[in-house]
Amino acid sequence: MLVVLSDLHFVDGSAGEHNLSPEAFRRVFAADVVGLARDKGIRSVDLLLLGDIFDLLRTEAWFEHPERERPWGSDRDACGRHAEAILGAILEHRDPARPHIDNPAIFRFLREELRQRLADVGVERLTIHYVPGNHDRLINAYPALRDRVAEALGIAAPAEPWWYPNAFQSDEYGVIARHGHEHDHLNCAAALDPYRAPETPEEADNRRRAYAESTSIGDVITTELAAKIPYLVRQRCDDPLLVERFQELENVRPLSGLFDFLRYQTEAAGNYKPLIESVLADTFDAFCALPYVRAYDRSHGRFDLVDKIQIAALGLRTLGVGALLRLAKSFGVLEGEDGLESGDAHIDAALREPGVRDLDHPTRFVIYGHTHGPDVVPLASPRTPDYRRIKESLYANTGTWRARHIRTRDRAAFTTLQALTYVTVFAGHEEPVPGIAGPPVLESWTGERKKYFL
């Protein structure tokens, strides 16, 4: 049995308390997985952590260091030391004000408790696999981070040199799985063909380095905008609730709702409204002045993402957030920004995976994360002319366990949805059709908790 989850986004808590409770794993995830293993007589379980498990970007720790020592700077050695400290803070993070936040207990659960609970129902082997995403790409750039993750997850490290793979492929399960940022140009700067398997160790290492060491504009946005705005709000005012609201900025969906979210929060700030508009303008100006961002702007033509942010900074200082938003909507500036959440680009990318349309190829299921939108979509159904042999290929997205702030249909407010999604795949012998050896079987499970965003 293969179990896949992604986008847990464990953080160090400095940019907001977005971590999960261990009970989410014990009472929901483990209960389901252990129950499935018991009921189906499973003897072997593969747990695949499909990227963005650790969030090395959503932290205020980077602001303690000069820009050249951040992931988009020039001092790679210093960046590695800081990233190692951030990873350590993530692995050790507990929140005294919220006893249910206990990251060490979660990692202990994954490497010890889950293994024991599965053994109690007859599972003889639990293997944990880890594929880095874009928010934890640095783990594949530095051996110290790589080894710390192996220790935290209970992964047996092979002989040197070794790194975490950028994809998981299994003929037994009929699966090809990637984090999915490879198909998002804002969050992956590696100029590679993700479908082409490396043919030599040297090519594999070059591919690993390209994914791990190439900074994307999305990296910079996460830290220098989404984490920086609440950081400056806290420095300039003494309203903890206001800070906490702005710490949810990166959780807003769809992305085109970001300006609506900023307006919503700015209007709710009351007397702090001028201060908030000043913070936003200052943050946008500082972002656009970063050397990496200036280089990105020069290479991406007119009216790209950076140009829009520059215009937003000017508009905030002259018009205010409400008038700026109305002007942007009237010119259609915010249209067409929802491709990531709709998932269309990733579904099309999944359809291009080798073997999906090939009746004789073992791949039946393409599994991605990254978009935070759980989904199952039929891709293709190759068959023989007489229909005696048919293969159905599916795309599944593992969503996120992080809260999402969804814009309401009337675009007037935001509602919080806290989701838990995982995908299971059973090998043919684990879910047999009576009398014959059946193909692998995929199941996707999503639960959501809803509350109003206040």
137 and 203 part of one domain = yes
46 and 73 part of one domain = yes
125 and 29 part of one domain = yes
136 and 50 part of one domain = yes
Q: How far apart are CA 145 and CA 155, in angstroms?
A: 13
Q: How far apart are CA 426 and CA 446, in angstroms?
A: 18
**Structure-block tokens of residue 366:** 């393409």
Asked if residue 93 belongs to a domain, the reply is: yes
Q: How far apart are CA 312 and CA 430, in angstroms?
A: 55
45 and 138 part of one domain = yes
181 and 287 part of one domain = no
Asked if residue 235 belongs to a domain, the reply is: yes
Asked if residue 351 belongs to a domain, the reply is: no
Percent of the chain at pLDDT > 70 equals: 94
Asked if residue 337 belongs to a domain, the reply is: no
Stretch (H or E) spanning 4: strand 2-5
Asked if residue 409 belongs to a domain, the reply is: yes
Mean pLDDT, all residues of the chain: 90
Q: What residues does 383 pair with on adjacent strands?
A: 390
Chosen domain end from 296, 330, 364: 330
The domain in which residue 197 lies consists of: 2-209+356-452
Mind listing the pLDDT tens digit for each residue in 42-79?
999 999 999 999 999 999 999 999 999 999 999 999 99
Asked if residue 335 belongs to a domain, the reply is: no
pTM above 0.85, yes or no: yes
Mean pLDDT for the stretch of residues 356-372: 96
169 and 122 part of one domain = yes
374 and 304 part of one domain = no
198 and 319 part of one domain = no
36 and 88 part of one domain = yes
Asked if residue 288 belongs to a domain, the reply is: yes
91 and 133 part of one domain = yes
148 and 243 part of one domain = no
Specify the pLDDT at position 453.
Answer: 36
Query: Per-residue confidence at 41, pLDDT binned at 50, 70, 90?
Result: very high
Number of domains in the chain: 2
Asked if residue 345 belongs to a domain, the reply is: no
Task: Give the strands of the sheet with 175-177, arranged side by side.
Answer: 168-170, 175-177, 365-368, 393-397, 375-380
Q: How far apart are CA 377 and CA 59, in angstroms?
A: 34
